[in-house]
Amino acid sequence: MNEQGQMQFGIMSVSDITQDPTTGITPSERERIQATVTIAKHAEEVGLDVFAIGEHHNPPFWSSSPTTFLAYVAAQTERLILSTSTTLITTNDPVKIAEDYAMLQHLSGGRMDVMMGRGNTGPVYPWFGQDIRQGLPLAIENYALLRELWDKDVVDWEGKFRTPLQGFTATPRPLDGVAPFVWHGSIRTPEIAEQAAYYGDGFFANNIFWPKEHYQRLIELYRQRYAHYGHGTPEQAIVGIGGQAFMAAKSQDAVTQFRPYFDNAPVYGHGPSMEDFTEMTPLTVGSPQQVIDRYAAMRDTFGDFQRQLFLMDHAGLPLKTVLEQLDILGGEVVPVLRRELAVNRPVGVPDAPTHAARVKAVYGDGPAREARPGVNRGDNLTAGGPYQDTPVATGSAFGSAATRKGA
pLDDT score for 4 = 39
Please report whether residue 169 resides in a domain.
yes
Which H, E and C letters describe the chain, residue by residue?
CCCCCCCEEEEEECCECCCCCCCCCCCCHHHHHHHHHHHHHHHHHCCCCEEEECCCCCCCECCCCHHHHHHHHHCCCCCCEEEECCEECCCCCHHHHHHHHHHHHHHHCCCECEEEECCCCCCHHHHCCCCHHHHHHHHHHHHHHHHHHHHCCCEEEECCCCCCEEEECCCCCCHHHCCCCEEEEECCCHHHHHHHHHHCCEEEECCCCCCHHHHHHHHHHHHHHHHHCCCCCHHHCCEEECCEEEECCCHHHHHHHHHHHHHHCCCCCCCCCHHHHHHHCCCEEECHHHHHHHHHCHHHHHCCCCEEEEECCCCCCCHHHHHHHHHHHHHHHHHHHHHHHHCCCCCCCCCCCCHHHHHHHHHCCCCCCCCCCCCCCCCCCCCCCCCCCCCCCCCCCCCCCCEECCC
Least confident of 86-100, 193-207, 303-317, 371-385: 371-385
**Which carries the bigger pLDDT value, residue 83 or residue 191?**
83
Q: Which of 11-25, 183-197, 368-382 has the lowest mean pLDDT?
A: 368-382
Residue 96 inside a domain? The answer is yes
- Asked, for residue 1, whether it belongs to a domain, the answer is no
Residue 2's pLDDT band (cuts 50, 70, 90): very low
pLDDT class for 131, splitting at 50, 70, 90?
confident
Residue 2 maps to a domain? no
Higher pLDDT pick, 271 / 375: 271
Q: Residue 90 — very low, low, confident or very high, per pLDDT cuts 50/70/90?
A: confident
> Could you tell me the pLDDT band of residue 392, with boundaries at 50, 70 and 90?
very low
Residue, of 330 and 268, whose pLDDT is higher = 330
Assign residue 395 the CATH number of its domain. Answer: 3.20.20.30
Which residue range forms the structural domain that includes residue 168? Answer: 8-404
Averaged pLDDT for residues 272-301: 94
pLDDT (average), residues 312-321: 95
Q: In which band, very low, low, confident or very high, does the pLDDT at 167 lie, cut at 50, 70 and 90? A: very high
- pTM for this entry: 0.89
Q: Look at residue 181 and tell me if it is in a domain.
A: yes
Q: What is the pLDDT of residue 45?
A: 98
Asked, for residue 373, whether it belongs to a domain, the answer is yes
Mean pLDDT value across the chain: 88
Rounded mean pLDDT of 287-309? 96
Is 3 a domain residue? no
Rg of the chain on CA atoms, in Å: 21
Domain presence at residue 316: yes
Give the pLDDT of residue 385. Answer: 43
Q: Looking at per-residue confidence, does 122 or 306 come out higher?
A: 306
- For residues 66-71, average pLDDT: 97
pLDDT at 375: 53
Q: How many domains does the chain have?
A: 1
* Reported confidence tier of residue 330, pLDDT bands at 50, 70, 90: very high
Indicate the pLDDT class of residue 394, thresholds 50, 70 and 90. very low
- Structure confidence at residue 371 (pLDDT): 84
Q: Supply the pLDDT for residue 206.
A: 83
Question: What is the predicted pLDDT for the residue at 378?
Answer: 67
